[in-house]
Amino acid sequence: MIESLQSFLSLADAVIITNEKHQILAVNKTYECITGYSSELIVGKKASILRTKHTPDDTYVGMYEALNNGSPWSGIFTNRKRDKSLWHSSITISPFIIEGSTYFVGVFRELEQLDRGYYLDEKRVASIQASLLKVLAISCEIRDPGIEPHLTRVQKLTELLAQRHNERCQLDMPELVVAGIAHSSILHDIGKSAIPEGILYKPGRLADYERTIIEMHTVIGVDIIGKIYSELDDEIFENEFSTAKNIILYHHEKWDGTGYPHRLRGTEIPLEARIVSVVDVFDALISKRPYKEKWSIPQAVQYLQENRGKHFDPDLVDSFLTLYEEGELLPESDT
């Protein structure tokens, strides 16, 4: 063991020292206690002995990239102890070059003392959120057998448009914010679960009072989502439900102020609702409905262009058109 690195083993946190091939040279007592591996059992093994599939691959890619460049690296690992239980930790790995050889010192800080239980990395949180929101949306609209394909298309198109608009207009929205908009878009019409089927699926023209009832689905949807969130009361969904409320309530507002329920105009309408407005109308146009035949994609795109600056945010329509021109839009709906 290199004498100059020996002092690291006296730290209170778990410490592991490896050579440039990532073979373990030494661990301290804290590491032994946490992992269940004694020095006799683990020295000489590869550091990956504790690795699990729960740590995203790109975490390791970033780690190796930094270490190969001679830079320290910090991140989150979900490893497995000797007894097969999971161990979640924040780790900083620092490279040291001693007499021409490279050594790595990893200092782990255990996250198991968190009151909330398992540590979840952001991607796993996003995956859980997306799955639960999809189940929720489909469950609330289960009367319509064709609703799942529509919701899935809206979600995918929302993701494509949000990403493209973010890039084209240089909005610098974080990846997780863009993903949150896509995940939440699936709930846009959740309030229609409370609308009578005779009105919702009426094949002919709606009477004024029937249209008024349908337009209530935005307010009803916010009430539904508010009650669900109050029951969960969990910060893991806080951002998603805030985004979902904006989408549900405002996705029928129009850029020129003639929409509902509050006749907002322009940028008074939250961006996430403006995005879903474009996508929802587009998918409705290319889908068969009880009251209409489906349109072709070129016809639907032309409609968006004609209503640019009226119904829709003109910049968002322009972003959508780039997707169309590049062949990124989904195939026409069969429903």
In this structure, the answer to whether residues 160 and 60 fall within a common structural domain is: no
* 102 in the same domain as 48: yes
Per-residue pLDDT tens over the stretch 137-169: 555 554 555 667 888 899 999 999 999 999 999
pLDDT at site 260: 95
Quick one: what percent of the chain has pLDDT higher than 90? Answer: 44
Quote the number of domains for the chain: 2
In tens, the pLDDT along 237-279 reads: 566 678 989 999 999 999 999 999 999 999 999 999 999 999 9
**CA 147/CA 142 separation, integer angstroms:** 7
Same domain, 216 and 307: yes
> What is the residue range of 42's domain?
3-110
| Shared-domain flag, residues 103 and 170 | no
Q: Which residues does the annotation mark as catalytic?
A: 192
| Full-model pTM | 0.62
> Are 92 and 131 within one domain?
no
169-219 pLDDT tens trace: 999 998 888 988 998 898 898 888 778 878 877 877 888 989 999 999 999
Strands 24-27 and 73-80: unpaired
Q: What is the gyration radius of the CA atoms in the chain, in angstroms?
A: 26
Phi and psi dihedrals of 302, rounded to 5? -60, -40
Is 56 within the bounds of a domain? yes
Residues 172 and 321 in one domain: yes
DSSP string for residues in 130-156: HHHHHHHHHHHTTT-TTHHHHHHHHHH
Residue 331 lies in a domain: no
CATH number, domain at 234?
Answer: 1.10.3210.10
Token pair, residue 332, equals 């026409």
Same-domain status, 85 and 228: no
Residue 142 falls within a domain, yes or no? Answer: yes
Report if residue 335 sits inside a domain: no
